[in-house]
Amino acid sequence: MSLTPMEFARRARALYADREAVVDGSLRYTYAEFFDRCDRWSNVLQRFGIAKGDRVAYIAPNTHAQLESFYAVPALGAVLVPLNYRLIASDFAYMIEHSGAKIVCVHADYLEAVDALRSRCPEVERWVALEGAREGWLDYESLLASAEPRFEPAAIGEDDLLTINYTSGTTSRPKGVMITHRNAWVNSVGTLVHHPMSSADRYLWTLPMFHANGWTFVWTNTAVGATHVCLRKLDPPSVFEQLERERITVLCAAPTVLISIANAPEELRRRAPRGVRVLTAGAPPAASTIERIETELGWALLHVYGLTETAPFISVCEPCEAHAALPLSERARLKARQGVELITSGELRVVDEAMRDVPRDGQTIGEIVVRGNAVMEGYYRDPDSTARAFAGGYFHSGDSAVVHPDGYVEIRDRLKDVIISGGENISSIEVEGVLLHHPAVHEVAVVGMPHEKWGEAPHAFVVLKQGAEVTEAELRTFARDRLAHFKAPHAIVFVADLPKTATGKIQKYVLRAGRSAVVTL
C-alpha cells in the first residue's frame, strides 16, 4: 500500500465519522459530512475532465472549502496548487500559467483581482467561485449540491505528485516545489511522533493552509480525528475569541505571530486557555518570545525547522531530560535552536563548501543540507534550479548554522543575510535576540548595510510596543552591553511595521533596499 495522506482520510471515515471535523464560523461538519462534501467535489472535478496529473489551483484563506481541496483533488490523482492569496494579480497569473492549472477556484475576496488576469490564462478551462459567485463564475456550493458523493478514485503511487507549492519569489520568479504523496505522509507521521495528538484535540488554523500545505496539518489533524477550526483572518482578537470559544488545544504559528499574541492586550490574554501546545517554525524564534509564551500564557512550545522544499519539517528541538532542571531563561535559549533530525525526515548535515561536516563546537559555521523521504521531488519545470539545489546529492537549504557538542543544530542566519563586517561574520539573529529582550521592543529585524570602513555593518529596524519609548542611543547601549561591540547596530531606525510575507517571515530584502514598504516613525 502506498504511503499517502489519502490513507488518513480512509481511516478517519471508518473511525471518526460522527466526530466534529471542521468548524468554519457558524458551519460545523462531522467527518462523515466533510468527506461527503469532498466526494461530491471529486465528482464535479471528474465530470469536468480532471484526471490523474492535472493541476487544480486555489486562491483562498483558511476556509472549509480550501480544506476540502486537500482531499477532493488528490483523490483523483490530480495535483493541488494552493496559492498565496496575499500576492498580486500578476503573481497569480504567472503561477496559474506556469503550473498549467485547468481549473482555478477562488474565494470571494480575490475574485476582482483574478478577473483582471483571466484573459492571460487561456489554458484555464473553468473558473470557480468558492463564495460570492457572480457573472462569469461557476458557484462552488451549487456544483456540490448537484453532484453525487461518488467518483472513480485514482490508483495513487507514493511517488506521484500531490501538490505544487510556490516559493515566495523574493529575489526571482516563484519556484514550484513538487511535493509527493510520500513526502507529505512522512512529514505528518514524523510530526505525530514528536508532537502527539489525538481525537480530543482541537486545532486552530492560525497558519495559512496554502503555506507548505499548512505544514501538512491539513492531513495530520485528520489522521487522528482532531477538529479543524478555520480562522479566515489572523488578528489577536479573533485568535483569542476562537481559543476560548472552541476550546483550542493546538496551533501552529511563525514567531512574528507569537509576538503579536504575546503582546495582545491583557484583557485578551487573560481569556486564553492554558496548556495550549504550539508548534513554531518559519524563522528562528527569539528566546524572549519563547519565555513569554510559556510563562505568561502557560502554553507549551515546540520549535521545529524546515522549508517548503522539505515538506516542511526536517528537525525538531527535542526536549531532553537534562533541560528540565535548567532555569527557564536557559531552557528558552535552548528551545530557540533548530535541534535534531525528526525520526522520519532523513539525514541532516551542516557542511563547509567542500561538503565536509563542520565540527561540533558551536562555533564553526556551515550550511544545512538534507536528504531523505521528506525532500521534494524538485522544482516544477525548472531543471536548472533543481540541479543547483541538489548539488552533491543533498538539498541545500541556504541556511548557515553551527552544531553544538550535543548534536543540536542552531541556525545563525540565512546565508544571504549573514553580515560580514571588517572580515567578521555577524549573525543578524543573534543581534535581534538581544534587542528583543529590551522591554520597549515589540519586533526587530537586523540587516547589513554598506559601510565605508567595514564594508557593511548591522542596522536595526525596530517596532516599539504600544506606548513604549526608548531612544536610539539607549538601545545601542543596551546592545553593546550584551554583545561584542562590532556586533552592535551602527544605526537603529524606528518603524511602524516590518514588511512580512503571508506566513509572517520578515522580508529583509525590502529593508536592505529601503523601499517604500518600510514606514518610519
Cα distances from 110 to residues 107, 122, 235, in angstroms, run 6, 19, 19
The x, y and z cell numbers of residue 452, run together, are: 565605508
Residue 277 backbone dihedrals phi, psi, to 5 degrees? -95, 130
CATH assignment, 418-513: 3.30.300.30
Separation CA 189–CA 247 (nearest Å): 25
pLDDT at 18: 98
Residue position matching grid coordinates 471515515? 13
Closest-CA residue to 151 (of 68, 32, 34, 42): 42
Task: Output the pLDDT for position 423.
Answer: 63
Q: Give the per-residue pLDDT at 171.
A: 52
C-alpha to C-alpha distance for 262 and 264, rounded to whole angstroms = 6
Write out the DSSP string of 142-184.
HHHHTS-S---PPP--TTSEEEEEE---SSSS--EEEEEHHHH
Beta-sheet pairing, 455-464 with 103-106: unpaired
- Those residues whose C-beta lies under 8 Å from the C-beta of residue 320, and which sit 6 or more positions away, are 406
List pLDDT tens digits, range 361-396. 999 999 999 999 999 999 999 999 999 999 999 999
What dotted CATH number matches 6-15+31-180? 3.40.50.12780
Q: In one letter, which amino acid is 314? A: I
> Which pLDDT value is given to residue 515?
47
- Same-fold call for 6-15+31-180 versus 234-414: yes
| Residue 503 neighbours by CB under 8 Å, 6+ apart | 207, 208, 211, 254, 282
Q: Tell me if 290 sits within 8 A of 301, measured CB to CB.
A: yes
What is the β-pairing status of strands 378-379 and 366-371?
A: unpaired
CA dist., res. 340 & res. 320, Å (int): 11
Residue ranges of the chain with pLDDT lower than 70?
A: 169-172, 423, 502-503, 515-521
pLDDT at 502: 62
Quick check: helix, strand or coil at residue 206? coil
Nearest Cα residue to 177 out of 376, 364, 330: 376
pLDDT for position 93:
95
Q: Please report how the helices 287-296 and 328-335 are oriented relative to each other, as an axis angle in degrees rounded to 10.
A: 120
The whole-number pLDDT of residue 13 equals: 97
Tens-digit pLDDT profile for residues 338-355: 999 999 999 999 999 999
Domain ranges of the chain: 6-15+31-180, 234-414, 418-513
Report residue 365 as a C-alpha cell.
559555521
CATH H superfamily, domain 234-414: ANL, N-terminal domain (3.40.50.12780)
pLDDT one-digit tens code per residue, 410-453 = 998 887 777 878 767 788 888 998 999 999 999 999 998 888 77
